[in-house]
A and B are shown apart, each in its own frame.
Chain A
Amino acid sequence: MSLLLDLLLGLAVLGVAGWTLAVRGNFPAVIGFVAYGLLLALVWVRLGAVDVALTEAALGAGATGVILLFAVVRLRGGRAEIDAATPGPRQRIAAGLLCAMVGLALAVAVLNLPNPAPSQAAAVARHLPELGVANPVTGVLMAYRGLDTLLEAVVLVFAVLAIWSMAPDRRWGAVPGPVFPVQSSGPVSLLARLLPPVGIVIGIYVAWVGADAPGGKFQGGTILAAMGILTWVAGLWRLPPVASRGLRWAVVAGPLAFIGVGLLGFVIADGFLAYPPGFAKPLILLIEAAMTLSVAAALVLMVAGPPEGRRE
């Protein structure tokens, strides 16, 4: 039964992926991609990785879908150029054969992975009590491989600044992204008024429970960002200009808190990002709280894009 379910789900994922590539219009392709992301999230649930399922649904399908849709709306035409640049059937067959070989090699490699699978599961679990967290994924992200998570948080800051820096010089200092008119009626306006109070509570809750249950800063931050984007698109909230100090400190607060706690480890524990016994959980929660804010801010800004309006 479950094998059949996995088989159907797997075929559905592949089918939607193939359709996304094959369909001619950009809009249906993006819709296909969002469906692909949601199906993948289901696959992650089937694999027992609820943390990843949440992240995939929120970021992979949701946020990525939104920026792709924004891009589709703005990219019009170019059909002739695209058709002229599309490789002919012979090149496509060659590319297909090559990619099929890669896929085949990968499949052979996967089927030949050793049994029993090598695993850090026991080691991960052994030290969780010291950290005071029950969710092993959080243990890995915040302690064992904390440096990865820190650098990744910094990548978000890189991305925001890189996106801003693509703006023309004369736009510098303006508000990021387009400015939407206030929508006083219609579904977006209604949603933007009803959802955020609930969404913000859920977002904070998802970030908060991450220590012990599936959830955490990235998932919670994405939900908060979604609420922000909704109120922004409905014209109910204007983004601060790129020069706003408050906005920028919000973006760097998370990584800075992470580094601060890390450096504190030199003083009160045995090194960078080491947590002293008994204080691990509060410190982890502190980082998670700051990171949730920064993830939410960075995601909103990445969706909004470079400054577009006139200088303030």
Chain B
Amino acid sequence: MIYGLVASALVALGLYGLVTQSALLRKVLAFNLLGGGVFLLFGVVARRGGDAVPEALVITGLVVAFAATALALVLVLRLFQITGAATIAEDETPR
């Protein structure tokens, strides 16, 4: 199944983005790319079995992922408003 391979590649891409991108906004984006791959894998599983259960799991998962993204972005914005920081790199001088 082509999409199984696509899902695997998306997971690898998303993980790579999460690890190598330093800007928080881009990390959140990469997290969503990764999520897309994970959900697609559920889709492949659903398709193989002609089964509605994994589809329902994806709908649940998509809603949870959206909530997580919204929360993460609010935190990113608050961090930026307060400190001007756009990454979570360690500060030069420990507090």
Contacts and interface: CB of A to CB of B under 8 A. Distances in A.
Interface string A268-312: 000000000000000000000000000100010011011000000
A137 B52 contact: yes
Contacts of B15: 99, 102-103
B61 to A, nearest CB: 9
Interface in B8-61: 8-17, 19-23, 25-26, 28-30, 32-33, 36, 39-41, 43-53, 55-60
A182 interface: no
B43 A37 contact: no
A309 B88 CA distance: 28
A10 B51 contact: no
Contact of B22 (A85, A120, A148): A85
Interface in B56-95: 56-60, 62-71, 73-78, 80, 84-87, 89
Nearest to B82: A168
Interface residues of B, number: 72
A61 to B, nearest CB: 10
A136 B67 contact: no
A67 B69 contact: yes
B43 A47 contact: yes
Contacts of B2: 3, 6-7, 10
Contacts of A84: 89
A163 B67 CA distance: 10
A136 B23 contact: no
A302 B12 contact: no
B55 A49 contact: yes
Contacts of A64: 32, 66, 69
A55 interface: yes
Contacts of A100: 12
B74 to A, nearest CB: 5
A83 B33 CA distance: 22
A72 B6 contact: no
B39 to A, nearest CB: 8
B62 A60 contact: yes
Interface stretch (A154-162, A229-237, A239-247): A154-162
Given A29-B26, A110-B41, A52 B12 contact: no
A156 B4 CA distance: 30
B63 A121 contact: no
Contacts of B36: 17, 36-37, 40, 60
Contacts of B76: 71, 75
Interface string A91-127: 1100110111011101100110100011111001000
A140 B56 CA distance: 6
Contact of B50 (A102, A103, A119, A139): A119
Given A52-B59, A75-B77, A85-B89, A68 B25 contact: yes
A141 interface: yes
Contacts of B29: 20-21, 29-30, 33, 68
Given A82-B23, A96-B20, A156-B67, 13 more contacts: A30-B29, A40-B40, A44-B43, A71-B25, A77-B84, A78-B87, A103-B9, A103-B12, A113-B45, A118-B49, A119-B50, A137-B59, A145-B57
22 contacts: A10-B5, A21-B30, A26-B25, A60-B66, A68-B73, A74-B77, A78-B23, A81-B86, A81-B87, A83-B22, A87-B20, A92-B20, A98-B19, A99-B16, A103-B11, A106-B8, A119-B50, A121-B49, A139-B52, A145-B60, A159-B70, A218-B59
Q: Identify the 8 closest CB pairs spanning chains A and B, nearest first.
A: A103-B12, A119-B49, A78-B86, A136-B52, A140-B56, A85-B89, A159-B67, A117-B48
